[in-house]
Amino acid sequence: MVAVPELDALTQARRLGDVDTAARELVALETGTALDEVSIDVHVELAAGDGDLTARVADIRARRDRLEAEEAKVRADTAAFARELAAAQVPVRDIGTLLGVTFQRVSQLVNT
Q: CB under 8 Å to 92, separation ≥6 — which residues?
A: 86, 103, 106, 107, 110
pLDDT at 50: 61
| Degrees to nearest 5, angle at CA 5 with 15 and 31 | 90
Q: What is the mean pLDDT of each run of 10 residues along the chain (112 residues)?
A: 91 92 94 92 72 80 97 96 96 96 95 88
Of 44, 49, 35, the closest CA to residue 13 belongs to 44
pTM (2 d.p.): 0.58
pLDDT at 18: 93
